[in-house]
Structure 1
Amino acid sequence: MENLKSFLSLCLGGAILWHGIIVFLSETKLVDIFQVQPAPGYTWDIADPGIDDFHWMSTPEGVLPSPPSPEMSETHYFWEKNKVTWRPGMFHPEFNVVAIEETGKWRPLPGYKFANDKNGDLNTVWQSGLLHPNFKVVSVQQEGSWKPLPGYKFVNNDNLETTWEPGQVYPGYNAWATEKEGLWMPVVGYKFVIENGLWTDVVWNPGQKYDELKVQSGEQKDSYIPYPGYKFVNPGVDLEVAWTPGLPHSNPDYANYVASNSEGSWELRTQPVEPTASDYFMGWFVKGLASAGIKKVFGDNPVSDVLLRESTKDGLRGIGEVLKK
């Protein structure tokens, strides 16, 4: 009987000691009497039954290894094999952190940062403006929400996958996305300010010519001038232009030229010839003679009266030209 009591006391003491050890270990946690589980970030150090399905996954939290099989974290009794191993990529059940390669260390999930620098404190806060480590997105004010980086758009609303969208305007800057991913070009009329090989601003660049558009940037910001011979199709709406036959050349040095019917070619403008004093006197004589002849044949009539008035005007104009000299 004494031996039985001693044995039971030894077992009880061992059980109490085991429970005490488990309580103070950081790698495991006591979940019930004689029952233990791996602590957050740990799994049992046994062969994973799901090892054949192991793969790296692209998740909103980053590129992580596939989660361990449930057997790797199930409850064990104290007499079972209870050695554990650190498992990078596991999520903490209580905090917004994920296990990293270094044993016992965690990093905040994308969009979060540690609330303070206190060692071992895993409390986090959501922070807007943080870049995602694996996707072309940045965190916004609302917790858990993201927006694409400039030039990108979401592929769908189910995940954070994005695609480059040519033609998209950079927010706050007059630049748009080109066909090549990550490459930007200034909006028409603007130029990049380059510092250390990178553009830091976009400013207006007056006098810049754009042969493919047939326009030139004006002196005033956001003003444009069509090339000579062209007119805006939709003024104030877009930069579409059209060749306009008959339009005078806008350069004063070529004021005598107008746009011809063939785009890009010009023709000399026909200048009206101003009558001389002799021309006016000839008109006075001819019209006066005609008026007198018609009146002699037909008598008083409207035609001869009109010719007489025009003859008088020509005579006065001729006198005026003589006086100018």
Structure 2
Amino acid sequence: MIETRGLTKLFGRVRAVDDIALDVRAGDVYGFLGANGSGKTTTVRMLLGLVLPTSGELRLFGEPMPRAARRVLPRVGTLVEGPAAYGHLPARANLALIDAAGPGGRAARRTRDDRVAAALDQVGLGGIGRRPVKAFSLGMRQRLGIAAALLRSPELLILDEPTNGLDPQGIHEMRELLLALNAAGTTVFVSSHLLAEIEQLCTRVGVLDRGRLVVQDSLSALRRPTGLVEVRTAAAEDAARDLGDRVERRDGDTLWVRADDAAELNARLVAAGVPVTGLVVQHHTLEEVVLQRSGGSADRVPARTAP
């Protein structure tokens, strides 16, 4: 769906994006994660042909961008750097104008009202009436931007910070909407600085740090087991004695034990007469991976400059 090779963007001597190789596959919910200022939005704008790369190449649907933009972009729904709208018009009128600017001719005009209504319903704005957009909250504007991205039932959604301005309920609803769209066949590319949201939503993750892609893998691979198993037992003393130096630490009735096979560990404890009330295989968190690969800091550091 999205493929880049050596994608680089310089602004003067600042490397905003530095030699990245994205690999977004059909069916992914791909989380493009990075601190504010890490180069995410610049990358998204290059993907859509809004900014030309300094060097490298990129393809959407296997076609070169921006050369194939006329063929490719009608298949893509986008929200970049916040929604644009005419403040004095209501939501329906705004979406109708956006749709009219797209391809489709008479066929698109005949179905416009139905598609506008369906898009508004999908994002929870179906009952908004004729209130002008200038009276919308930031979260409502964000929902309107998502509705605009959904107007043409895109095969690929590219969204830059789609939960910006939403309250916790709105974030939950947006997550459920994106997952439902993905389940129906839409590939979703989400750029965000919200690590917890990416971890809950995405199947594959790319992490951008100072313009460089430092992580790209499936979420399941990144959240691999740590080699520790959390064991809860009322006989913690007996368990610790039986397991010896395999116990990394203990806190009351809970022990953290080095083990490659949780079932084998459980069987050993039961055979030793230790009543096991809980056993959980520990996994790396996405936060741990990001901090490790980005030099131990979640904060954005100044962009590197060109040599």
TM (norm. structure 2) is 0.23
> Relative contact order (C-alpha < 8 Å, sep 6+): which is higher?
2
Q: Larger helix proportion, structure 1 or 2?
A: 2
- Structure of larger gyration radius: 1
TM (norm. structure 1) is 0.22
